[in-house]
Structure 1
Amino acid sequence: MIEQSHTASVLYNIEPMGVETGLLESFSSYLIRVAYEHNITVGHLINKIVIPEMNKEYLERSTIYGGNSFYEGAKTLNGFTDNTTKVIKVMEMLTSREDLANLTLCKLKGLFPIRNLLKESLAWCPNCIRNWMDNGKVIYYPLIWNLKSVNICFTHKRYLIEICPACNKKIDFLRRHMVPGYCPNCIKLLTQDPLNKEKDKLEMLWHTFVFQNTQSLLELDTSQLSLIINQDRVFKQLNLINEEIFLGNTSSFSKFTNIPKSTLRDWLKEGNLPTFNGILLICYKLNIKLLDFILQCPQKSASIFQFSNKVDDLNKEKINRIPLDVVAIENNLKEILLYDTPISMMEAAKILGRDRRVLYSHFPDYCKKISKRYSDFIKEKSSHRIQLLKEEINYAFYALINNEIYPSSGKIEKYLNRNGLLREKVLQDHWRGLITQSNFLVEGKKHFNDEFK
């Protein structure tokens, strides 16, 4: 698993997983594995080895005083920010490797904007992790799982998980104490398989398209891709589609793709780069591959995209006048009401490919039930979250008392490593109640008054 470089290096020259495949390892995952192979924590690797080589004073101060500056920005490590480039250069120097940029989305810089490109927290397939563990293989987190548009594991035909089933918490991409395949919050294996969201055929068609086309894009060699693509090509392709398929009718283009007209017009006028998900949606609607969109040379004299509907039909907007299949839609709405995890009517409308207002107009009872079920679910989830946080506050509160430390809001937040936790009123009120009930009321009166001046 570990390969030593021919030249001396500070760290082991570890081979990234999934090289030249669509399941290429992410850079954040690589950092976790490097720490694991050296039998040190991720915190030690970052604070003692990586940051000193970056010549960043604010990061060095953070390591001394226990700040989270590096970790709070860790989700961008798999993207293409300046911070990504700097950390990659340091790790390549420390490991004597020259290919770590491939573990990020650096190849897509200038092609898609970074906004809405990456998830906010880790996502994983428990089946993959379980199979790797059972077969003695290396456990890692593929880069493709990090993309916000990708929500399934194509291998196991299932949705990715974003909340640990054991502790009901999301997992940051990088934490000081992380071991591949384990939740850093509760130290439980990430192989637990909660009741998976019921698969909807239409929804799975879209997710499968996204996964396969994203996988094909990530499999492209970085050096070759950089020579072929640029943002001008994307703008030209969009305008070519608009002219040749929709005869310059942006409204028809917008209605067909369900992309807001103002957004689409901005892309066509080269105001902003189209989002990755936006381009995927256009390709999906037009039944073309993402790589064909990116790599094919646009020629106005030829129709470069295969499209089954005639331009005249599009202009008359017949494509948008799909008759309502009342029985089918009603059955789908009934199925949605049986989902283990409730969804909103907005999400239901997307799954059915129908405008939400149309559904409410024809199926008001079902829509209200779906909406109420989702609303109740969110309230229950919020209540559960507050209860868990109160339990954490209780734990920290009495732990500080037992150590004869006044349990101020700042001390509790620092103990739990949750800055700003007690800014939330319901949690602040809970903390005040603990203060009132504790024996610290008299002894800590001065501290208490200072806290609320």
Structure 2
Amino acid sequence: MSINNLESCEPWNSKFPKTPKRSKLYSLEPVSISTAYTEGLISYVCRLAEAHCVSPGVLIKQEILPSFRRNYTVGNQEIYQLHNNGGITTVACLPKPANTKNSNEYGFLAFQYIKGLEPLVLREDLQSLIIPPWIGEALGTDIELARDVRAWCPKCFQDSLDIKKPIYEPLLWSITAVTVCPYHHQPLQSRCPFCKKNQRPLTGKMQVGRCSQCKAWLNKLGENSSESESSVYAELEWHLWVTKQVMGVLAVTPNLPYKETSAAIAQVLRDTKRPESEISVNPSTRRIQLKLLETIACYVQ
């Protein structure tokens, strides 16, 4: 074969597919994503940390925040996103999200964790792991959308242990208006049955399914029901109805365009009858629940 013919030949590997880009961290798939029981962002961060045999605090400080700062610069009121295209760097300006106590609610911490994680795990669906931002925007600041303490269903944890499914903490449990488990019809717990302590939504050494204080499994009910739990049992039908409305929103919001999302939420509200029984739940809880339902209803009009 002549030199000219050799030069005209295709490279030997031209017909092979290109090697896909590799993620720095495991591209862990969120549990039950795009469903009413989708995993929350905090749970995802904790499971990702466990997969790498480190604590959430180490993962956040050594990987997530440095990754975020490579592409973003934080000012007092704005965040500057840096784009490098062919050696030319451009800057886009974004409003700085407000601080929230719970990273499962859209805010500055959730924004940092999502934008820091995306290039590390090469996933574009992490936004689905927080409460839809439009709810917080429409609800305002006078109502607590996400809890400032951790909540869970012990029986859900036990079910996962029994059938050896991934243990995770659904986003639904973070929402203040949700007070019961829709599957086991029991009040969500917020105090460890062993050390009797409440827990912040995220701590540096947190593990899914375990108490962040004493490290015990949270798969058992507490011995003594609180006054708020007794109130939930007394009006269980109402609390389940509220929970189902919120689940309907979580199930449709991540995937659909604005108009389709509005129609789907409206259908959820139309199809479900509000219980006729007299409501006598905790006034503060009832106020939060009614305000959230009103916000959803106004959004779809």
Q: TM-score range by the shorter chain?
A: 0.5 to 0.7
> 1:166 Cα deviation (Å)?
0.6
Aligned mates of 1:50, 1:279 — CA distance in 2: 35
Judged with a 3 Å threshold, the aligned counterparts in structure 2 of structure 1 residues 225 and 168 are, in CA distance, closer, same or farther, namely farther
Query: Structure 1 vs Structure 2: percent identity of aligned residues?
Result: 27
Contact 2:154 2:220 in 1 (8 A): yes
Judged with a 3 Å threshold, the aligned counterparts in structure 2 of structure 1 residues 86 and 228 are, in CA distance, closer, same or farther, namely farther
Partner of residue 140 from structure 2, selected from 100, 109, 113 = 113
- Which string of whole-angstrom CA distances, capped at 9 and with x for unpartnered residues, describes residues 156-189 of structure 1? 0100100001111111221111222111211111
Aligned mates of 2:122, 2:101 — CA distance in 1: 24
Structure 2 residue aligned with 1:89? 115
Determine helix, strand or coil for the equivalent of 2:102. Answer: helix
- Which string of whole-angstrom CA distances, capped at 9 and with x for unpartnered residues, describes residues 278-297 of structure 1? 345659xxxxxx5x6643x4
Q: Does residue 216 of structure 2 align to residue 184 of structure 1?
A: no
Query: Normalising by structure 2, what TM-score?
Result: 0.68
Q: Does residue 244 of structure 2 align to residue 212 of structure 1?
A: yes
Structure 2 residue aligned with 1:278? 290
Judged with a 3 Å threshold, the aligned counterparts in structure 2 of structure 1 residues 123 and 6 are, in CA distance, closer, same or farther, namely farther
Between the two proteins, the alignment pairs up a number of residues equal to: 232
Letter in 1 for 2:61: N
> 1:45 Cα deviation (Å)?
0.2
Runs of 4 or more consecutive aligned structure 1 residues displaced over 2 Å after TM superposition: 53-58, 73-76, 106-115, 195-202, 221-230, 275-283, 292-295
Aligned mates of 1:110, 1:77 — CA distance in 2: 16
Contact 1:229 1:294 in 2 (8 A): no
Contact 2:102 2:147 in 1 (8 A): no
Gaps of 5+ in 1: 59-72, 235-255, 261-274, 284-289, 298-453
Cα RMSD (Å):
3.2
Q: Which has the higher strand share?
A: 2
Q: Which has the higher helix share?
A: 1
> 1:39 Cα deviation (Å)?
1.0
> 1:90 Cα deviation (Å)?
1.0
1:36-435 pair list within 5 angstroms: 36-55=50-69, 75-108=101-134, 109-113=136-140, 115-195=143-223, 196=225, 197-198=229-230, 203-222=235-254, 224=256, 226-227=258-259, 277-280=289-292, 294-295=299-300, 297=301
Query: Which structure has the bigger radius of gyration?
Result: 1
Gaps of 5+ in 2: 1-18, 76-98, 267-278
Contact 2:139 2:291 in 1 (8 A): no
The higher relative CO (CA closer than 8 Å, separation ≥ 6) is in 2
Letter in 1 for 2:27: N
